[in-house]
Amino acid sequence: MSDIHELTVTVDLRDGLSEQQLAELRRHLGLGPRPGRLTVVTEFPCVVVDDDGVPRTENEPRPLLAGGGPARRTTGALCSALVARDGLPGGGWALTSRTEIHPDEAEEIGALLRWLAEHVHDTRRQADGTVRLGHYRACEDPAPSPLEVRDGRVDLAETLLPRSR
């Protein structure tokens, strides 16, 4: 059994994102360079071993939803897009990303998904405040589960990190 999960995010975002936010979002999608300052997801802890063999934690920012080419563990292709969305009241952005993730990335991806849920277009927010961002599944599972953020909790992060409930 593999720890790899397919993650598909399909969401419409409100207009009014700053250029900084858009640049960082493009970076997470693998569509642009890393901006100088991070504001969306700022913590990327990574344990490294120094020359003396002592482990220490460093902050190593990386794109979270970037993926391209054929999937390694799931079927199909990995890809991302962010385009201006006409036809929504007030305008906005259409975002689609399909990638493979590992539980080690759950906290950082959860932070990004919570940020996306905060910026989702009002037409995509359910009456109880729940935001459906797409779906996810373990690579062995034939059917996906809905990817939802409810009351600031990301169901994916809780699935991958059950102790975080």
Q: Which residues of the chain have pLDDT under 50?
A: 1, 163-165
CA separation for the pair 141, 87 (Å, rounded): 35
Task: Say what the pLDDT of residue 161 is.
Answer: 62
Cα-to-chain-centroid distance, residue 60: 16
**Structure-derived torsion over alpha carbons of residues 66, 95, 23, 155, reported in degrees to the nearest 10:** -70
Measured between alpha carbons, how far is residue 65 from residues 29, 30, 90, 156 in Å?
A: 5, 7, 26, 14
Please write the tens of the pLDDT for every residue from 29-58. Answer: 999 999 989 999 999 988 889 899 999 999
Task: Say what the pLDDT of residue 160 is.
Answer: 75
Phi, psi of 118 (to 5 degrees): -65, -25
Phi, psi of 107 (to 5 degrees): -65, -45
Task: Say what the pLDDT of residue 88 is.
Answer: 82
Cα-to-chain-centroid distance, residue 99: 9
Task: Say what the pLDDT of residue 165 is.
Answer: 41
CA separation for the pair 41, 67 (Å, rounded): 18
Provide the H-helix boundaries in the chain: 19-28, 106-118, 155-160
CA separation for the pair 162, 165 (Å, rounded): 6
Task: Say what the pLDDT of residue 33 is.
Answer: 95
Task: Say what the pLDDT of residue 164 is.
Answer: 44
Task: Say what the pLDDT of residue 7 is.
Answer: 95
The DSSP line for 30-74 is: TSSPPPSS--SS---EEEEE-TTS-EEEEE----SS---EE-SSS
The residues that bridge with 120 in the sheet, in sequence order, are 13
